[in-house]
Amino acid sequence: MEAVLKILLLTQWFDPEPTFKGLLFAKQLQAEGHEVEVITGFPNYPGGKLYAGYKQRWLQTELIDGIRVNRVPLYPSHDGSGVKRALNYVSFAATSCLFGLFIAKKAQVIYAYHPPLTVGMSAVFIGFFRRIPVVYDIQDMWPDTLQATGMLNNKKALAFVASICGWIYRRASALVVLSPGFKKLLLARGVPAHKVSVIYNWCDASALIQPQIVNKRPIEMENHFNVVFAGTMGKAQALDSVLKAAAIVQKINTKVKFVFVGGGVEVEHLKTVARELLLNNVLFIPRMPMSEVGQVLVAADVLLVHLRNDPLFEITVPSKTQAYMAVGKPILMAVSGDAANLIEEASCGLAVQAENETAIAEAVLTLAAMPHEDLVAMGRRGAKYYQEELSLEVGVKKFVEVFEDVAR
């Protein structure tokens, strides 16, 4: 029998906020027989406003499904202001560090979830003074992501962020990354290979796949071949190209509909572009709970992933990829590199170049012309691959191996 580990989860975002390594991760670790305590902030992401029912104080401790969750104060913000975003990150780093140093129970392993980078700083300080190994989960490659998304362009500031990253990488006992490309980049920056593990993200498949949602599709999606994009619509997603592809498709196949589900800073801009292009084959659906997103995904014929055509995104696997695979639908992957390789390995869709409206349009038309049974088979292959290689159970077992290794 495996030894029981005492694990401290340090993450700025945790349920009820949308996150990939939140309550689902904690509960699965607990189900594997380990003790978990969480340090997080008061929920305000992604809107930057405190969630209803929460009031900031020095400390609020909740017991959620048997998991002890400690919430510490932070400056709530998630708008375009760099100063406010920095205050949001730094305030949580400071309060989480104080709690971790002086109040949290002694753990055997600290798991720190990045982004933001400041969570890693907090984890390293706690780990150093309390002599606890840190496992740092890198979901965004900073400073590369800051530059690629336009959040930060000052060369001196980027160099400073890079130096902080290097400092954290040296002091963490182990690093976990979401793709082979991330590992390759870290090795090129001097991180020892034995320190880095690739563990793909998973999704909350139980929330997405529910029998009662199968026949509930939005009325606007009836009698169409629906290409669905679900998730954040920001600068990094570069969805103008998808709207230009929709304009090409509209002239050839009027049955195809492009459906965008979610929120983000670019939503209003995209709606304006859709009007300017006179698109009548585009539908915008506001952000909705994960269980309701499942209704739209199940109603889709094809699920779309799209990011800017940037070298950084060639070494990432957008997290929606796993959700798309889990629901068993064909995937149109408009991201090169690791994400495209995953789709090709699972044989569950088509991969095209990002921000290439002609290639996107041609792929959509190809999929729309395929026999229904071929599309179904494609989706099933994706679901099978997800269950065997990428699921929550598979991922958590790999994390436990890393935790046990550093705890020794």
Asked if 199 and 284 count as a contact pair (C-beta separation under 8 A), the reply is: no
Q: What percent of the chain has pLDDT over 90?
A: 78
| All domains in the chain, ordered by first residue | 6-202+391-407 (3.40.50.2000), 205-389 (3.40.50.2000)
Q: How confident is the model at residue 1 (pLDDT cuts 50, 70, 90)?
A: very low
pLDDT at 77: 87
DSSP conformation class of 262 = S
pLDDT of residue 289: 77
Tokens of 344: 């090709």
Question: Does the structure show a pLDDT above 90 at 290?
Answer: no
Tokens of 362: 């041609």
- Structure confidence at residue 299 (pLDDT): 87
Identify the weakest region by mean pLDDT among 4-18, 138-152, 346-360: 138-152
Strands across the sheet containing 282-285 = 282-285, 256-261, 225-230, 302-306, 331-334, 349-351
Element (H, E) at 306: strand 302-306
β strands within 46-158, DSSP E: 60-64, 67-72, 109-114, 134-138
Of the chain, the percentage scoring pLDDT greater than 70 comes to 96
Could you report how far apart the first and last alpha carbons of the chain are, in Å? 16
User: Alpha-carbon distance 190 to 6, whole Å?
Assistant: 30
pLDDT exceeds cutoff 60 at 213: no
Q: 110-154: per-residue pLDDT in tens?
A: 999 988 899 999 999 999 999 999 999 999 888 887 776 677 778
Indicate the pTM of the whole model.
Answer: 0.87
Is 262 buried (19+), middle (13-18) or exposed (0-12) by CB count in 10 A?
buried
Q: Is the dihedral of CA 245, 284, 383, 311 positive or negative?
A: positive
Q: How high does pLDDT run on average in the chain?
A: 92
Reported as type and span, the H/E element at residue 94 is: helix 82-102
Average pLDDT over residues 380-390: 96
What is the model's pLDDT at position 281? 97
- Please name which of 103, 22, 102 lies closest in space to residue 67, comparing C-alpha atoms: 22
pLDDT grade for 217, boundaries at 50, 70 and 90: low
C-alpha–C-alpha distance, residues 274 and 277, integer Å: 5
For residues 90 and 18, the model is more confident at: 90
Task: Specify the range with the lowest mean pLDDT, choosing from 129-138, 194-203, 208-217, 218-227.
Answer: 208-217
**Residue 327: phi, psi to the nearest 5?**
-80, -5
Mean pLDDT, range 302-308, rounded to an integer: 96
pLDDT score of 211 more than 80: no
Instruction: Give the three-state DSSP class for 52.
Output: coil
